[in-house]
Amino acid sequence: MSNNNSSLPYSPAKEKAGGMRGPYNRLLLVQKLRHLLTHIGSVRIKILLPICVILAIILLAGRAASFMGWKHYNLLPARAQSRKGYTVLINTWKRNDLLKQSVSHYAGCSSVDGINVVWSEIEPPSETLQADLRRIVRHKSQSSKKPDFRFNLNEVDNLNNRFRPIPDLKSDAVFSVDDDVIFPCSTLEFAFSVWQSASDSMVGFVPRMHWVKKNDAKHFTYGGWWSVWWMGSYSMVLSKAAFLHKKYLDMYTNQMPAAIREYVIRERNCEDIAMSFLVANATGAPPIWVKGQIFEIGSTGISSLKGHNERRTRCLNDFVSLYGHMPLVAGSVKAVDAHHKMFW
């Protein structure tokens, strides 16, 4: 009997047991490697495919925005802009406790260059009040350069005083605000950046609307907050909380028809509507409404009195008569700070 094993049938088990490395073992190794590479490839595809899809969407969105004429604005904080900060112009009347709260708050906002208090009382502010407010500004300010603080004293009491020009005003931007409302500094920073992108406009937090009367296209009705909320459009932002360029103070006092200022004195109302008419007449554009938190720290004002909307409606139509046309322009843009809003 021959001892030649070449005639025996091939046995992979025997080859493996005997430590042999024949062709079958090499084939098995190649198959395992192919299977491993295939598995790795499928995993990589599963990981990379969603990333590629997301990148493609971002690229297409950017090109679509460019194609449709949309512009992307990088609204940097005001301190990073080339322009200066803004002046807070506080209108007050015999509410020194509220005035102190307002000055204390706004002195701590980083982009505030100055705080001016519109004082229209017969008696000037006491030395004690002036000293207290200056001490508050020095203590609350977070910047090395403290905001300028001054009183704008007026000999007579009328609502036009809040828009008198301010000599030597350093900043172009003026934030006109009543002494009984407060806005967080972050909200003001955002609103200021919006104003910087449209510095001829009024940029504010309290929108209102004028409506054409039904079956009477020559007369208008004043629309309060609920009409703005319901219809989604507005044509005014009230100067109780709005940014505007300092040039409008001079225009209001020296260029606007004197009959309108006299009307405001006589009616003791509607100076904010008069300013909205002035800016709209100069720009031919709507104001910009900024969505933000508002904290009311005082009691209700004249807007809560009976017949308020009727008086405002009368102002609207009387101002239209004095101008000879309706300058207000309706808009529907609402500026929202996406950093602080999950849904916008």
Active site residues: 272
* Cα 287 to Cα 180: distance, rounded to the nearest angstrom: 23
Helix (H, G, I), strand (E, B) or coil at 57: helix
Answer yes or no: are the C-beta atoms of 103 and 133 closer than 8 Å.
yes
CA distances for 54 relative to 44, 59, 60, 62, 191, angstroms? 16, 9, 10, 12, 32
Answer yes or no: are the C-beta atoms of 213 and 125 closer than 8 Å.
no
* Cα 230 to Cα 134: distance, rounded to the nearest angstrom: 44
Q: How is 203-234 classified by DSSP, letter by letter?
A: EES-EEEEEEETTEEEEEEEE-HHHHHHH--B
Answer yes or no: are the C-beta atoms of 291 and 339 closer than 8 Å.
no
CA distances for 297 relative to 99, 105, 266, 338, angstroms? 10, 12, 28, 27
- Report CA Rg, the chain: 34
* Cα 15 to Cα 32: distance, rounded to the nearest angstrom: 19
* Cα 301 to Cα 3: distance, rounded to the nearest angstrom: 118
Strand 295-296 and strand 181-182: the pairing is antiparallel
